[in-house]
Amino acid sequence: MKIDLLRKPAEHMDTVVIMHGEKGDFHSIEYLPDHIKNAVAVVVKQDEYDFSYQNLKSFPLVHSRQRCNIILCGVGNPHGLDPEKLRHLFALCFRDALKLGAREVFVFPGFSNPVGEVNFGHILAEAALLTAYRFDKYLSEPHGHSLEAVHLALNVKTTRHINRGILEGRIYAESTNFARDLVNEPANVIYPESLAEAAKKAALQFGFSIEVFGQDKLKRLKMDALLAVGKGSEQEPRLILMSWKGNPDPKAKTIGLVGKGLTYDSGGYCIKTPQGMVNMKNDMAGAAAVIGTFAAIATLKLKVNVLGVIAACENMISGAAYHTGDIIRSMSGKTIEVINTDAEGRLTLIDAIHYAIARERVSKVIDIATLTGAAVGALGNQIMAVLTNNEQLLEKLQLASDFTGEKIWQLPAFDPYLELIKSEIADLKNSGGPMAGAITAGLFIREFVGEKPWLHLDIAGMALKDKARGINGYGATGVGVRLLTQLLREME
Ligand code: BES
Ligand code: MN
Ligand code: ZN
């Protein structure tokens, strides 16, 4: 998709988006041809249309025998806009334009921009590419066609800032769409080995380093928690290690990103219901977020050092699968009583985290996982649950979230609840039962990060949409890519 600044109004425009605040006069919008202004004035008067926030209205216009679609988009009070509100408005317009069959959209912003020029370009490009995304490779006939170009009709003194923003936004969005593709692929296509292959391809394309460990190496490393979860599957587990060294300072620290990579989660012997299982091909959304983040930071050439770790496996049933009641010794040496084979994500994560700390000496740990139904119950599908042992790191994440619009909410890492995951016969139990499930899952993981500053992102509710809304279409959202990229930029 082409996204650019329009230097002079085009002769014919297929779809025109006019964004305007509640107050003020749209006649002053530069570049907007008079016949469109006049038509808008009529519609605004006749239909008593106001430009209140999210108020959208579209109508066709014929001029010199050519048809053009006009979309009016209410901005409300422009000073009340923040990055996410602006992104959402763009998304509404592009979704409308797509519905109208638009191939080329001309955006006329007629309001004072409260986010700065770089961010304006960034958010526009992000919204366009994220909203236009579709996973249609398995459709014999694609549903509708795609957006080919977005032109921003804006008279700015220097185009440099907007253009830099557009480039940045494109990197954020394309990395997110890459993650979406990985998550949307079903489990017969993406399994541990093919996920590792996809990560290798990305490493080559975007220019970061990668190493993949197979089953034998994992046995030698004593990653028995990961191996236990993977035992029931014909597909052997993989440990995927990605590295980006953007800071040449020999004393520079490395940040560890750990993504949950269950390419399928049947629940194991604590088997899920068909309803609960159908989307479990997406249980590697955390892993996809990490791979997508690597694509972004390598393209942006961020001056940080990052290690990405994905423990990829499948949670299945077979004569070889792990049982409830099993006691396993994780790579760290801590033993775990398996109360529930469906609480598998945390078992895979702790071996990955221990590896990152003990073998690769990461100084901070950020894990991201579709970990608990309890996080969905608590916060729904628009807010992710976050636990931490370091409030400064959380503040940075909050800043990143404020920009990317991926909402976070802190749950308490409440020490007394450690009680719930204490076992009589092992160091820990892998499930604390139905109470405070998102918290006990986080506390379980915290037992393996020691003193390292740590952020835990439970994206179980955020990874998928069953209905298009804003920048997200049906299916994977790619949540986490933009958030982690922005966070790492703040840590540069
Ligand atoms: N992958 C699931 C969590 C999940 C649920 C993700 C719904 C997305 C949507 C995870 O492995 C799981 O099964 N968690 C259990 C934990 C329980 C057994 C302690 C859960 O949440 O029910
Ligand atoms: Mn599970
Ligand atoms: Zn799972």
Indicate which CATH number applies to the domain containing 71. Answer: 3.40.220.10
Residue 161, domain member (yes or no): no
Residues 339 and 483 in one domain: yes
Please, which residues have CB less than 5 A from ligand 3, an ion?
262, 265, 283, 345
- If pLDDT is split at 50, 70 and 90, which confidence band does 234 have? very high
Q: Is the pLDDT of residue 211 over 90?
A: yes
pLDDT value of position 417: 98
Which is the closest atom of ligand 1 to the Cα of 463? 8
Q: What is the pLDDT of residue 114?
A: 94
Q: Cα(59) to centroid of ligand 2, in Å?
A: 48
pLDDT, average across residues 305-316: 98
Residues 178 and 150 in one domain: no
The closest-lying atom of ligand 1 relative to the alpha carbon of residue 345 is 11
pLDDT band at residue 425 using 50, 70 and 90 as cut-offs: very high
Q: What is the rounded distance in angstroms from the CA atom of residue 435 to the CA atom of residue 451?
A: 26
In a mutational test of the pocket of ligand 1, which residue from 322, 344, 371, 462 has the highest number of ligand atoms less than 8 Å from its CB? Answer: 371
Number of the ligand closest to the Cα of 371? 1
Instruction: State the catalytic residues.
Output: 272, 346
More confident: 146 or 364: 364
Q: Which ligand is nearest to the CA of 268?
A: 2
Q: How confident is the model at residue 26 (pLDDT cuts 50, 70, 90)?
A: confident
pLDDT at 64 (0 to 100): 85
- 316: domain CATH number? 3.40.630.10
Taking the centre of ligand 2 as the mean of its atom positions, its distance from the CA of residue 345, in whole angstroms, is: 6
Confidence label for 30 from pLDDT (cuts 50, 70 and 90): confident
Give the tokens for residue 407: 């909402």
| 262 Cα nearest atom in ligand 1 | 1
Measured from the CA of 282, which atom of ligand 1 is nearest? 8
The reply to whether 29 and 90 lie within a common domain is yes
- pLDDT above 80 for 382: yes
Q: Is residue 162 part of a domain?
A: no
- Whole-angstrom distance, CA of residue 228 vs CA of residue 447: 19
> Does 101 share its domain with 133?
yes
Position 311 pLDDT exceeds 90:
yes
What is the band of 422 on the pLDDT scale with cuts at 50, 70, 90? Answer: very high
In three-state secondary structure terms, 452 is: coil
Residue 306 and residue 369 in one domain: yes
Residues 299 and 433 in one domain: yes
Task: Check whether 63 has a pLDDT greater than 90.
Answer: no
Could you tell me if 127 and 207 lie in one domain? no
**pLDDT greater at residue 9 or residue 361:** 361
CA dihedral in degrees (206, 208, 212, 217; nearest 10)?
180
| Least confident stretch, 9-18, 94-103, 162-171 | 9-18
pLDDT at 340: 98
Ligand 1 proximity of 460 Cβ (cutoff 6 Å) = yes
Specify the 3-state DSSP secondary structure of 101.
Answer: coil
Cα separation of 277 and 202, whole Å?
29
HSE of 61, CA atoms in CB hemisphere, 13 A: 25
Q: Is the CB of 370 under 6 A from ligand 1?
A: yes
Q: How far apart are CA 374 and CA 385, in angstroms?
A: 10
Using the predicted structure, report yes or no on whether residue 155 has a pLDDT greater than 80: yes
- CB-ligand 1 contact for 314 (6 Å cutoff): no
Q: What is the dihedral of CA 435, 436, 439, 442, to 10 degrees?
A: 30
Residue located nearest, by CA, to atom 5 of ligand 1? 373
Would you say residue 478 lies in a domain?
A: yes
User: In this predicted structure, what is the pLDDT of residue 389?
Assistant: 98
How many whole angstroms separate alpha carbon 489 and alpha carbon 492?
5
Q: What's the average model confidence in pLDDT over 19-27?
A: 88
Which residue is closest in CA terms to ligand 1's atom 3? 372
- Kindly tell me if the per-residue pLDDT of 23 is higher than 90: no
Residue 2: which pLDDT band, with cuts at 50, 70 and 90? very high
- Same structural domain, 336 and 383: yes
Long-range contacts of 204-210 (CB under 8 A, 24+ apart): 205/295, 206/294, 206/295, 206/298, 206/299, 207/298, 208/242, 208/243, 208/244, 208/294, 208/297, 208/298, 209/242, 209/243, 209/244, 209/245, 210/240, 210/241, 210/242, 210/243
Say if ligand 1 is within 6 A of residue 169 CB: no
Rounded to whole angstroms, how far apart are CA atoms 306 and 254? 5
Kindly state whether residues 149 and 227 are assigned to the same domain.
Answer: no
Say if residue 139 is in the same domain as residue 180.
no
* Ligand 1 lined by 458 (C-beta under 6 Å): no
Would you state the structure tokens that stand for residue 447, as one six-digit string?
A: 């037992």
Residue 249 in tokens: 């300072």
- Ligand 1 pocket test, pick from 338, 342, 420, 458 with the greatest ligand atom count within 8 Å of Cβ, gives 342
How far, in Å, CA of 209 to CA of 224, rounded? 26
**Quick one: pLDDT at residue 177?**
98
CA dist., res. 188 & res. 468, Å (int) = 25
Residue 165 lies in a domain: no
Q: What is the model's pLDDT at position 28?
A: 84
Q: Based on the fold, state whether residues 63 and 186 are members of the same structural domain.
A: no
Pocket test for ligand 1, best of 346, 372, 457, 459 (most atoms within 8 A of CB): 372
Q: Does residue 399 form part of some domain?
A: yes
Percent of the chain whose pLDDT exceeds 90: 95
340 CA closest ligand 1 atom index: 18
Rounded mean pLDDT, 299-324: 98
Tell the residue nearest (CA) to atom 17 of ligand 1. Answer: 343
- CB distance 374 to ligand 1 below 6 Å: yes
With bands split at pLDDT 50, 70 and 90, how would you rate the model's confidence at 265?
very high
- pLDDT above 80 (res 9): no
Whether 145 shows a pLDDT value over 90: the answer reads: no
Distances, alpha carbon 254 to alpha carbons 83, 103, 477, in Å: 30, 44, 27
Show the domain range for 258. Answer: 173-490
Find out whether the beta carbon of 313 lies less than 6 Å from any atom of ligand 1: no
Residue 472 near ligand 1, beta carbon < 6 Å: no
| 373 Cβ inside 6 Å of ligand 1 | yes
pLDDT of residue 219: 98
Give the list of residues 6+ apart from residue 143 with CB closer than 8 angstroms, or none: 134, 136
- How many folded domains does the chain comprise? 2
Measured from the CB, is residue 268 less than 6 Å from ligand 1?
A: no
Residue 232 confidence (pLDDT) above 80: yes
CB-based burial label for 3 (10 Å; 0-12, 13-18, 19+): buried
User: What pLDDT, on the 0 to 100 scale, is given for residue 8?
Assistant: 80
Residue nearest to atom 8 of ligand 1 (CA): 460
In angstroms, rounded to a whole number, what is the distance separating the alpha carbons of residues 303 and 293?
A: 14
Nearest residue CA, atom 16 of ligand 1?
343
Asked whether residue 166 is assigned to any structural domain, the reply reads: no
Q: Among 15-29, 289-303, 465-479, which is the least confidently predicted range?
A: 15-29
Ligand 1 atom nearest to CA at 280:
1
Instruction: Tell me if 275 is assigned to some domain.
Output: yes
- Residues 89 and 199 reside in one and the same domain: no
pLDDT at 25: 83
Domain membership of residue 160 (yes or no) is no
